[in-house]
Amino acid sequence: MAKTCLCIDVGGSSIKYAKIDESRTLMDYGKVPTPHEGVKEYLSALEGIYQKFEGQVDGITMSVPGMIDSGAGICISAGNLRFADGIHLVEEMEQRCKVPVAIMNDAKCAALAEAAWGALEDCEDGVVLVLGTGIGGALVKDGKIHMGSHFAAGEFSFVILGNEPDQETATWAGVNGNPRLLRMAARAKRIDADTINGEDVFRWINEGDEVMIGVLDEFTRPLARMIMNLQAIYDPDRFAIGGGISRQPKLLESIQKNLDRLYAIYPVDVPKAEVTTCKFFNEANLVGAYRNYLRTFGE
């Protein structure tokens, strides 16, 4: 069985890739734009990445968006890459590249990395929340990723929080996706949200901007409430927060502050959620894809 793989992480705007060996070292890291024209262009981009590593790796493993049947190698749905819905991605890539291929949902890859070697390594049960455009995630049960009967367990983006499901903030993705944080910050600054990014927001927070600190507090309040709800429903050992935003220490501080506030006023003594950040941050999907390859084809 191959110990060195080409690991690919397909995102909405870019496809990241790296070669990973038994030491879990990421080598020859790079990225290319994600094509949105159609399946042909998508597969060509993936094959083009492999051609850079042909002869150096014995297999390909991929982290991809959507509801993924890893066993069958099919993208039942492909997230915002709608053109790839239903594609037999493993078969297509194996035909083109002539090496073994494994695939798994991106957030579940992140959870797999954290459960195997990261923030949840010592946990039987855990929850990974990946904060991005939406709320990706996964449930870890007895050290394994819980897939669900439709391969959709942990799709937290779709949780309904509002009374009208067609409203922008009716879903958890609408309430705690990164775009809403930017809109909240822009409204507080009275500027266009298209002119700022997350780094700007946290730079202001780290500089002590009281208005922006208040925006972050408002943003993490529903996030803390949902963590508290999931603790009551699932009772995990620990939550691990991932996504690019999780690199900011102020985010975890704000989540914990709001959790402490909620538990202090809650009328019942209940187990309290333990929250930390993912160990692998933005690289979790690539590392988890490697773990999925080992799991699929044998250690």
Of 255, 260, 244, 257, the C-alpha closest to 182 is 244
7 φ/ψ angles, rounded to the nearest 5 degrees:
-105, 130
In the structure, what pLDDT confidence band is assigned to residue 299 with cuts at 50, 70 and 90? low
Residue 12: the pLDDT is: 84
Domain 119-278 has CATH 2.130.10.10: no
For the segment 17-36, what is each residue's pLDDT rounded down to a tens digit? 999 998 888 999 999 999 99
In the structure, what pLDDT confidence band is assigned to residue 298 with cuts at 50, 70 and 90? confident
Q: In the predicted model, what is the mean pLDDT of residues 231-254?
A: 96
In the structure, what pLDDT confidence band is assigned to residue 185 with cuts at 50, 70 and 90? very high
Domain ranges in the chain are 5-105+285-297, 119-278
- Among 44-58, 84-98, 109-123, 167-181, which stretch is predicted with the lowest mean pLDDT? 167-181
Residue 264: the pLDDT is: 96
In the structure, what pLDDT confidence band is assigned to residue 164 with cuts at 50, 70 and 90? confident
- Residue 248, CA distances (Å) to 171, 242, 252, 270 in order: 24, 11, 8, 29
In the structure, what pLDDT confidence band is assigned to residue 256 with cuts at 50, 70 and 90? very high
Say if CB 197 and CB 182 are below 8 A apart. Answer: yes
Residue 26: the pLDDT is: 93
* DSSP code, position 88: -
Distance CA 21, CA 16 (A): 17
Say if CB 227 and CB 275 are below 8 A apart. Answer: yes
The percent of residues in the chain predicted with pLDDT above 90, rounded, is 88
Domain 5-105+285-297 has CATH 2.40.160.20: no
Distance CA 149, CA 49 (A): 33
Q: In the predicted model, what is the mean pLDDT of residues 212-234?
A: 97
How many CA atoms does the CB half-sphere of 16 hold within 13 Å?
Answer: 16
Based on the number of CB atoms within 10 Å of its own CB, is 11 exposed (0-12), middle (13-18) or buried (19 or more)?
buried
The percent of residues in the chain predicted with pLDDT above 70, rounded, is 99
- Residue 31, CA distances (Å) to 16, 49, 68, 82, 212 in order: 4, 9, 22, 21, 32
Q: In the predicted model, what is the mean pLDDT of residues 221-236?
A: 97
